[in-house]
A and B are shown apart, each in its own frame.
Chain A
Amino acid sequence: MFASPLLTVLVVPLVGALAVGALGARPNAREAATLITATTLFVLVAALVPEVAAGGRPAVELFEVLPGLPIAFELEPLGMLFALVASGLWIVTSLYAIGYMRAHDEENQTRFFVSFAVSIFGAVGVALAGNMLTLFLFYEVLTLATYPLVSHHGTEKAVRGARTYLSVLFTTSIGMLLLAVIWTWVIAGTLDFRPGGILAGRAEGGVLIPLLALYAFGTGKAALMPFHRWLPAAMVAPTPVSALLHAVAVVKAGVFTVMKVIVYIFGLDLLSTTGVSEWLMYAAAFTILTASIVALQQDNLKRRLAYSTVSQLSYIVLGAALANAWGVIGGSMHIAMHAFGKITLFFCAGAIYVAAHKTEISDMRGLGRVMPVTMIAFMIGALSVIGLPPMGGTWSKWYLSLGAADAGQLVLVGVLMVSSLLNIAYLMPIPVRGFLFAPPDGPERPAIKEAPLFCVIPICFTAIGCVVLFFYSTDLLNLLQPLAGP
């Protein structure tokens, strides 16, 4: 359709959004449009994998916004991974969302699905961005497109949550990230993503540390403490939104940005030789532990999962901050691993809400007997997030520990271990209560009552994905290898 397959990939979700909007009056056709768009997008993205895996870097430049600063796209392994995860899980989430929204009789479903498609457009744009300006542009598209999703219910609580969401994301991105971007532009005279970075030899420690801080904290979507509050606030959104956007697309766009900045703007060599990123490791470690501890105290399931996400995101930031081969690969891999694990957990939370109308963990005793499929899937997702074999999450955490050991940061290895224990402590009680405890009232063996089929199928799919990733991690490793340098 276009001169470059990248542009086709970008246009598909936009066309999808238009189609969904146009078909608003006929729900079935509208849902079909969503599914067709999602599938098309995934097929198109997947078709790019062989080229990128072979070392190709498809690129396209559109037009210059400012002299020397074009809107440009270039696909490299990290972006490939992110685009694959985002577009692939979009199909699953669409199915799930259809079931969820209909079971709930939600209002404004057309607006919901349109915003969803635009959000995916933003996420794919971030993944494909060929320079920091383009990335920033799509980063803000993502912020704005998700706003109507977060405030979907329109209640006062939703509006307040959405306000927190937007104000934190805008404050960080406009207040710090934009400054960092322009600062880089003034120092380096370019914003292209280049292997080895663009800052080496152009800036010194006195500038690099504040610059890195602006990038790391400015990327509010990476939810590094203390700029994490938007994520729990965003949980007022319908569950499919929390699942895809606040476990995958939006938050991963954040950590993806941090990773991209560290690999292609700063360059691993620059960081590992100067030690500029050392403080960031500890900031990330702090977030990992603190968020886990906070998660322990949450009784609302979605909030607990949100804090767990905050904690897991910092794994990826930590991997980036380590600035060595294993750290970066482990961090990048965690983007995919955590995506599958966490989306499963959110799907389950939504299914429990739809079928049993329960949101608080303390009410979930005996639920495993009513919703066995959901609870088993939850268990699998939880194991993957914790990082136990045979789940995908094992590998990313393994490589991250290798990276920390390589960097000589034994304390951080310890942090990773402690955090895994904390993960067990806040995730496992849910299936344990579900299966081993008796329901608070009613019969000992209640009838099985699962969520609608549209919800259950995606849950099974992502849960199986967690297992599959364990066995195919070498493929991911090969894809990501070029990130660590030649």
Chain B
Amino acid sequence: MESQLPPLQIVIPLVAAPICVLLRNRVVTLGFAIAVCWATFGVSVALLDRVLASGAIVYEMGGWAAPWGIEYRIDALNAFVLLFVSGIGAIVLTFAPRSMGDEIPASRQYLFCAVYLLCLTGLLGIAITGDLFNVFVFLEVSALSSYALIAMGGRRKALPAAFQYLVMGTIGATFILIGIGLMYMMTGTLNMEDMAARLPIDGGVRTTLVAVAFLTVGIALKMALFPLHGWLPNAYAYAPSVVTAFLAATATKVSVYILLRFMFSVFGIEFAFEDLALGRALLPLALLGIFVASIVAIFQTNIKRMLAYSSVAQIGYMVLGISFATATGLTAGIVHLFNHALIKGGLFMAMGCVMLRLRSVDIEDMAGLGRTMPWTMAAWVVGGLGLIGVPATAGFISKWYFIQAALEQGWIIVAVLVLMSSLLAVAYVWRVVETAYFREPSERAREASEAPLSMLIPTWALIGATVFFGLFTTRSAGVARQAAEALLGGLP
């Protein structure tokens, strides 16, 4: 049983998805899907424990040995990614039943569960597999289901947003497919480890170069790296609250994981960062993204949209950490992957509570909300402080590592820029705080009552986690450090 954990991670949600369609009954389906999510989370906890205790796990699908068969390979990095993706998946779905009430018709909620589980399968699959083509397949599984999830948004604007995401996402995925094809052409293998051993190829540099370019651009599209972020704000703003919370916390993070995997485990640090100097290309994009997106966020009136732009900025931070290509920089990037997932997940869930009561996420309607929905807004404030990077929140830990990484390289300017960008976060977070606490309540806010416990508890679970991981970091930054060192040493 224990040796079968890696396939179970994928198979459980995958098989559960069609069962949801068969069950149809709203209550039964929701209960079933939630149980499945928590079981998936349990599997990933067990996996991480085993990886930390005894090193990487290798599982050969169907008993076919690599490099011919598909191999699942779990080291500290993807065990960590699996853990938080499944964990947030479970918490968000627990939050979902009440939140979906108004946004998705009851008759379609069983379909929502099925698609949600498929999306989770896709994301987990990307993280767990050691096979390049498998990455593409799972990427499309998660992407196609997320288009459907976004299109379930209550307002019609969700539809063009989903379509736009579909076009951009498909282009990105196809770019990745081209990249994988070219890599296969040069190396004759699809197994990551095997390919890493065969790279770089003498004499075939140009094709590999084109492959790297296609892959990088494709992944950048999927993870919404500035300036390829165009699809993200609308998709997040108009999707159902549950979907936004889930996707914001996991989807782009998994794409960042792919980038890490390709850069460090497949291309290798020497090829990617010394021969190709990808770091020098990513660094300015990351910084530009952080600043432009943060500034745009300040001027948004739809708060979900504001948080979406903030997400684009946060992706910039992660890429910044990667572009350092040092142990501390990677630790910063990876730990921010995790911390930001918690923070943004919690914030979007708080917005879900607001959406439930106000039927709006416009800043004007949120005036005075601190009085009528104190717990929701308190969660929002703590999450906001995390975005800023105030001590004793998870965001502070990320920020600490980013600055330490920059200073270790002697890049004081970069350190200063990172700090200045957190001040932009103060600007957009505080705009909401002032509106919610010091303005006369709007009509909608006056009629609003506190969100139900079934939503508050999951929200506070994530928000509480941001505080917990701001103080006790062995399970976040400690694991991230281990993952970073493993990446720099090639495949473990």
Q: Do A and B contact each other directly (Cβ–Cβ < 8 Å)?
A: yes
Residues of A within 8 A of B (CB): 63-67, 71, 133, 136-137, 140-141, 144, 151, 154, 159, 163, 166-167, 170-171, 174-176, 178-179, 182-183, 185-186
CB-CB nearest in chain B for A176? B419
Cα-based distance from A183 to B400 in the complex (angstroms): 10
Q: Tell me whether B391 is interfacial, beta carbon within 8 Å.
A: yes
B385 touches A144 (CB 8 A): yes
Q: Tell me whether B389 is interfacial, beta carbon within 8 Å.
A: yes
In-complex Cβ contact of A171 among B423, B470, B472, B474 (8 A): B423
Contacts of A178 in B (CB 8 A): 399, 403, 419
Contacts of B438 in A (CB 8 A): 151, 154, 159
In-complex Cβ contact of A174 among B388, B437, B474, B477 (8 A): B388
A186 touches B423 (CB 8 A): no
A66 touches B477 (CB 8 A): yes
**Besides A140-B391, A170-B388, A174-B419, 5 other A-B contacts (C-beta < 8 A):** A66-B397, A159-B438, A174-B388, A182-B407, A186-B408
B404 touches A174 (CB 8 A): no
Contacts of A141 in B (CB 8 A): 391-392
Cα-based distance from A140 to B393 in the complex (angstroms): 11
A66 touches B408 (CB 8 A): no
Given A140-B390, A144-B390, A175-B423, CB of A163 within 8 Å of CB of B430: yes
The B461-480 residues at the A interface (CB cut-off 8 A) are 470-474, 477-478
In-complex Cβ contact of A137 among B392, B408, B419 (8 A): B392
Cα-based distance from A48 to B416 in the complex (angstroms): 41
B430 touches A166 (CB 8 A): yes
Given A159-B434, A174-B419, CB of A167 within 8 Å of CB of B426: yes
B471 touches A71 (CB 8 A): yes
Please name 13 pairs of A and B residues whose Cβ atoms are closer than 8 Å in the assembled complex, sorted by A: A66-B473, A141-B391, A144-B385, A159-B438, A163-B434, A170-B426, A174-B389, A174-B419, A174-B423, A176-B419, A182-B403, A182-B407, A186-B407
Q: Tell me whether B415 is interfacial, beta carbon within 8 Å.
A: yes
Contacts of B389 in A (CB 8 A): 174
Q: Tell me whether B422 is interfacial, beta carbon within 8 Å.
A: yes
B407 touches A65 (CB 8 A): no
Cα-based distance from A65 to B467 in the complex (angstroms): 12
Cα-based distance from A76 to B420 in the complex (angstroms): 34
| Nearest 3 interchain pairs by C-beta | A137-B391, A186-B407, A182-B403
A179 touches B471 (CB 8 A): no
CB-CB nearest in chain B for A156? B438
A65 touches B404 (CB 8 A): no
Contacts of B399 in A (CB 8 A): 178
CB-CB nearest in chain B for A170? B426
Cα-based distance from A236 to B209 in the complex (angstroms): 62
Cα-based distance from A66 to B415 in the complex (angstroms): 19
Given A66-B397, A66-B477, A163-B430, CB of A174 within 8 Å of CB of B422: yes
Q: How near does chain B come to A179, taking the closest CB pair, in angstroms?
A: 6
Given A178-B403, A179-B416, A182-B400, CB of A170 within 8 Å of CB of B423: yes
A185 touches B391 (CB 8 A): no
Q: How near does chain A come to B486, taking the closest CB pair, in angstroms?
A: 17
Cα-based distance from A144 to B429 in the complex (angstroms): 14
Contacts of A175 in B (CB 8 A): 416, 419-420, 423
Contacts of A63 in B (CB 8 A): 471-472
Contacts of B473 in A (CB 8 A): 64-66
Q: How near does chain B come to A21, taking the closest CB pair, in angstroms?
A: 12
Contacts of B419 in A (CB 8 A): 174-176, 178-179
Q: How near does chain B come to A399, taking the closest CB pair, in angstroms?
A: 34
Contacts of B423 in A (CB 8 A): 170-171, 174-175
Cα-based distance from A198 to B54 in the complex (angstroms): 39
In-complex Cβ contact of B391 among A136, A166, A176 (8 A): A136
Contacts of B388 in A (CB 8 A): 170, 174
Cα-based distance from A167 to B430 in the complex (angstroms): 10
B391 touches A183 (CB 8 A): no
Contacts of B430 in A (CB 8 A): 163, 166
Contacts of B415 in A (CB 8 A): 179, 182-183
CB-CB nearest in chain A for B478? A67
CB-CB nearest in chain B for A210? B412
Cα-based distance from A151 to B437 in the complex (angstroms): 10
Cα-based distance from A65 to B475 in the complex (angstroms): 11
Contacts of B478 in A (CB 8 A): 67
Contacts of B422 in A (CB 8 A): 174
B420 touches A66 (CB 8 A): no
CB-CB nearest in chain B for A175? B419
Contacts of B420 in A (CB 8 A): 175
Given A63-B471, A174-B389, A179-B419, CB of A185 within 8 Å of CB of B404: yes
Q: How near does chain A come to B71, taking the closest CB pair, in angstroms?
A: 33
CB-CB nearest in chain B for A185? B404
Contacts of B416 in A (CB 8 A): 175, 179
In-complex Cβ contact of B404 among A71, A133, A159, A186 (8 A): A186
Cα-based distance from A175 to B412 in the complex (angstroms): 12
Q: How near does chain B come to A389, taking the closest CB pair, in angstroms?
A: 43
Cα-based distance from A140 to B388 in the complex (angstroms): 12
CB-CB nearest in chain A for B471? A65
Contacts of B408 in A (CB 8 A): 186
Q: How near does chain A come to B424, taking the closest CB pair, in angstroms?
A: 11
Contacts of A65 in B (CB 8 A): 397, 470-473
Contacts of B400 in A (CB 8 A): 66, 182
CB-CB nearest in chain A for B418? A179
CB-CB nearest in chain B for A186? B407
Contacts of A170 in B (CB 8 A): 388, 423, 426
Contacts of B474 in A (CB 8 A): 64
B426 touches A183 (CB 8 A): no
Contacts of A144 in B (CB 8 A): 385, 390
CB-CB nearest in chain B for A151? B438
Contacts of A176 in B (CB 8 A): 419
Q: How near does chain B come to A437, taking the closest CB pair, in angstroms?
A: 40
Cα-based distance from A66 to B471 in the complex (angstroms): 8
Residue from the set A63, A174, A179 with the largest chain B CB neighbour count within 10 Å: A174
Contacts of A163 in B (CB 8 A): 430, 434
Cα-based distance from A311 to B399 in the complex (angstroms): 34
Cα-based distance from A176 to B426 in the complex (angstroms): 15
Cα-based distance from A151 to B399 in the complex (angstroms): 28
Contacts of B470 in A (CB 8 A): 65
